[in-house]
Amino acid sequence: MGRGYSIAVVGATGAVGVEMIKTLEKRKFPVSRIKLLASHRSVGKKLAFQGEQTPVEELTHDSFKGVEIALFSAGAARSKEFAPSAVKAGAVVVDNSSAFRMQEDVPLVVPEVNPQKVKDHRGIIANPNCSTIIMVLPLWPLHRVARITRIVVSTYQAASGAGASAMMELQKQIAEIGEGKRPGVVVLPHQIAYNLFPHVDVFLPNGYTKEEMKMVHETRKIFGDDLIMVTATCVRVPVLRAHSEAVNIETEKKLTAGEVRAILAEAPGVKVVDEPGKKLYPMPLDATGRDEVLVGRIREDISRANGIDLFISGDQLLKGAALNAVQIAELITHA
């Protein structure tokens, strides 16, 4: 029997936090004590963990006494403010926000790709962006075999990426439209029901969004390859919780579609769903609630000599966020 760990979940009441709690339970993570932290608004709420109603406490700088691993998912501003306090108290922070991902002394980890980086941490390990995690899972084994030189990706991102309130906004807008009412737009930048928009996170001076540039920089850091060229268009679609992506890659060494299928059939965390004749291909509804990233529509790009096209769907709240964070915590306990 191994020992249990004292865990804090920061942002426990949020879309990701709730999945973190469920993932810790589901994977039988050895927990001796759990602290559920959120804003003052959630004080008085209780959340079930391993059959026990656990009160939610307000996040403060003093929240981390005795905490060994702190899973942060309360937004980048809270991470910047409170992660140093957690580290000072002796905890290892697994941070789900964009706050520290590109800092040189912060490992950016996808356990199927670069688990060895976990041990280099100096208190904080960053969980990559959801769209990046879901993309690198199938691309890493292809990169190892054939070296990917360029990635062109378009995303179809669910409301869940923008939090529980955005998921509710999508559901509310659909209900309002059904009742013949004008849908309210509060959380997302436009009506999302029966719509989509090429706008996730904020716009940057280079014309890309921050979300798109995360896919560029984070992919390079996770692969340890600064030469890989990436361009992305990130689109919000009226889907509740799984992200999808159309991905085109160019490789140094030619890969056939059959070779790609064979490599991906063995790839950890990936499930090939690619029988278009039977109407089987990745779809966000099928990826919802699943740990694996679904990959299909695998084909040779007719416009380039060494190009491959694929389509992927993965649960944003699981592999895109909570599951990847808990897998990192598992690596910490195994170190």
Binding piece for ligand NAP, criterion CB under 6 A, among 39-47, 170-178, 201-209, 257-265: 39-47
Phi and psi angles of residue 328, each rounded to the nearest 5 degrees, phi first: -65, -45
In order, the DSSP letters of 191-227 are --TT--BS--S-B-TTSSBHHHHHHHHHHHHHHT-TT
28 is written with which tokens? 């039988």
Using CB under 6 A as the binding rule, whether residue 174 contacts ligand NAP is answered as no
Q: Which of 121, 130, 143, 234 is catalytic?
A: 130
Using CB under 6 A as the binding rule, the residues of this chain from 82 to 141 that contact ligand NAP are 96-97, 127, 129-130
Q: Is 314 in the site for ligand NAP (CB under 6 A)?
A: no
**Closer residue to ligand NAP (CB): 146 or 241:** 241
Q: For residues 35 and 116, what is the distance between their CA atoms, to the nearest angstrom?
A: 28
201 binds, among ligand NAP, ligand 12T, none (CB under 5 to 8 A by kind): ligand 12T
Q: Does the annotation count 234 as an active-site position?
A: no
The token duo for 65 is 């006494």
Q: What gap in Å lies between CA 4 and CA 2, rounded to an integer?
A: 7
| Of positions 31, 87, 152, 164, contacts ligand NAP by CB under 6 A | 164
- Residue 293: strand, helix, or coil: strand
11 binds ligand NAP (CB under 6 A): yes
Residues that bind ligand 12T (CB under 6 A): 97-98, 129-130, 157, 161-162, 200-201, 211, 214
CB atoms within 10 A of CB 111: 17
Number of other CB atoms surrounding residue 305 within 10 Å: 9
Q: What's the min distance (Å) between Cβ of 56 and ligand NAP? A: 7
Query: Which amino acid makes up residue 284?
Result: P
Backbone angles phi, psi at 155, to 5 degrees: -105, 160
Residue 187: both structure tokens together = 């959380």
Helices (H), the chain: 15-26, 76-88, 130-146, 164-178, 210-223, 257-265, 284-287, 323-334
Using CA atoms of 281, 282, 288, 289 in order, give the dihedral in degrees to the nearest 10.
80
Of the candidates 121, 234, 243, 334, the residue annotated as catalytic is 243
CB of 181 to ligand 12T, least distance (A): 26
In angstroms, give the least distance from the CB of 103 to ligand 12T.
14
Q: Spell out the alpha helix ranges (H) of 89-181.
A: 130-146, 164-178
Identify which of residues 18 and 272 has a Cβ nearer to ligand 12T in the complex. Answer: 18
Q: Is 243 annotated as catalytic?
A: yes
Least distance (Å) between residue 59 CB and ligand 12T: 18
What is the number of the residue whose Cβ is closest to ligand NAP? 14
Does position 41 bind ligand NAP by CB under 6 A? yes
Catalytic residue numbers read: 130, 243
Q: Which residues of the shown chain bind ligand NAP in the complex (CB under 6 A)?
A: 11-17, 38-39, 41-42, 59, 73-76, 78, 96-97, 127, 129-130, 161, 163-165, 320-321
